Amino acid sequence: MTAAVRAKGASRTKVDWFLLFMRVALLSLIAIGLLAFFAQQLDPNNAFARWRHGGDAAHTLTGDQYKGLVVTGLSQGAMYGLIALGYSMVYGVLGFINFAHGEVFMVGGFTGFIMANKLDEAGYWEGGAFIPAVLFTILVCTLVSMATAVIMERVAYRPLRGSPRLIPLITSIGVSFFIQNAVILLFGPGAKGYPSNPDWLQQKRSLLGLVEIEGIKIVVIVVAALSMYALWYFVERTRTGKAMRAVSEDKEIASLMGINVNRTIVTTFAVGGAMAGIAGILWGLLFRSVIATTGFLPGIKAFTAAVVGGIGNLGGAMAGGVALGGAESLAPLMLLEPLGVEGASQLRDAVAFTLLILVLLIKPTGLFGERLSSEDRA
């Protein structure tokens, strides 16, 4: 029981005090970290910085470095957001977390690996053929991930419809292991490399003279933004999207309207899978390597992003993804490094999950989440 749902007037229990302590401690850490950061930017040789860095001055962050971190965070966050959409949509419609969704993303990355290498062998991964080749690859990855998600629903989840929610949840962990191991069986356990991107994509280019960005990160951000816009349009403006929102709110009444609930659920998986597939190929293009376990950490992070944004809320999933990517990228150098934490850049994962805990402590429904009624909470 958190303070947020504690009945008014009830006295605080030990757990409440502990939660309050955690909130205060985390927020103070952030406040002190930020203060220390601003202090070191103004005077790298201030007393606090010298104390925390064993007598040395702090390393200040230059404007360009800072911009670079923002861009990295944004591109990473855009991919988290794309994956998070799938978690959120399936949760909205079926009320369970599909932990195998990270594997749908990984399948997209592997499809990209196969496509990119085949196209590279045929000589299409460079020069003027590159752009159509990449677009074609994105399309195929989207379709393969979509198919993976749809088959998953048909084979693993539909037979469990109507059973307690814990059962599909545990099944999804099983599905996740199954897909990971199937990929190891097919491609071996090693990392698979993408062919090099053309030089013009690797080079940094200036955007409005404000910031230098590697071309590939621009591609990631632009493709992710376009996909999110397409999804938003689909959900908010089309008849099928309307049906999807109706099903996520009340299946019985949706079917009374004549909506085919099963087909709508399949559509939900398909659309969520497509977004994960796009994230998969973008991930591959950016990091140029995939491995059977590629889906695990981004999957968990995207789930975190969905919860941070408010699970079931699509705008929240996107915002949560970007917030998480940004925090991962910025917090180590803006909060931890000024506090004298060594190797702060290695702590990105810790930052991500601390953000999750922080949001759950302060706003349990997520940034944009609505309060769930008791019947939704099972």
253 scored as a contact of another protein (CB under 8 A) = yes
Nearer to another protein, 173 or 253 (CB): 253
Among residues 302 and 318, whose Cβ is nearest to another protein? 318
Cα separation, 279 vs 77, in Å, equals 10
Site track for another protein across 341-370, x = CB under 8 A:
-----------------------------x
Window 270 to 309, contacts with another protein (CB under 8 A):
none
Spatial distance between the Cα atoms of 272 and 318, rounded to a whole number of angstroms: 13
The binder of another protein chosen from 15, 256, 357, 378 (CB under 8 A): 256
Span interacting with another protein, options 26-34, 224-232, 255-263, 319-327, rule CB under 8 A: 255-263
Consecutive H or E run containing 206: strand 204-207
Angle, helices 296-309 vs 63-94, to 10°: value is 80
Query: Residue 317 has which token pair?
Result: 């999933």
The position carrying tokens 């990971």 is 180
Give 62 or 260: the residue with its C-beta nearer to another protein: 260
The Cα 360–Cα 343 span in angstroms is 27
The whole-angstrom separation of Cα 168 and Cα 162 is: 10
- Judged by CB under 8 A, does residue 249 bind another protein? yes
Q: Does 162 engage in binding with another protein (CB under 8 A)?
A: no
Task: Pick from 25, 191, 257, 357 the residue near another protein by CB under 8 A.
Answer: 257
Q: To the nearest whole angstrom, how small is the minimum distance from the Cβ of residue 346 to another protein?
A: 42
Say which amino acid occupies 188: G
Whether 3 and 304 have beta carbons less than 8 Å apart is answered as no
Q: What gap in Å lies between CA 235 and CA 295, rounded to an integer?
A: 26
8/239 with CB nearer another protein = 239
Our CB check for another protein shows the closer of 244 and 347 to be 244
In a 10 Å sphere around its CB, with 0-12 CB exposed, 13-18 middle and 19+ buried, how is residue 86 labelled? Answer: buried
Contacts with another protein by CB under 8 A: the residue count is 17
Minimum CB separation from another protein for residue 256, in Å? 6
- For residue 192 the two structure tokens come to 């698979």
Q: Does 376 bind another protein (CB under 8 A)?
A: no
Q: At what angle do helices 261-287 and 239-249 cross, to 10 degrees?
A: 110
* Residue 260 within binding range of another protein, rule CB under 8 A: yes
Q: What are phi and psi of 212, to 5 degrees?
A: -95, 125
Q: What's the rounded Cα separation, in Å, for the pair 130 and 127? A: 6
Nearer to another protein, 118 or 242 (CB): 242
User: Of the two residues 243 and 355, which places its CB atom closer to another protein in the complex?
Assistant: 243
Q: Which of residues 189-248 bind another protein (CB under 8 A)?
A: 239, 242-243, 245-246
Q: Which is nearer to another protein, 196 or 260 (CB)?
A: 260
Binding site for another protein (CB under 8 A): 239, 242-243, 245-246, 249-250, 252-260, 370
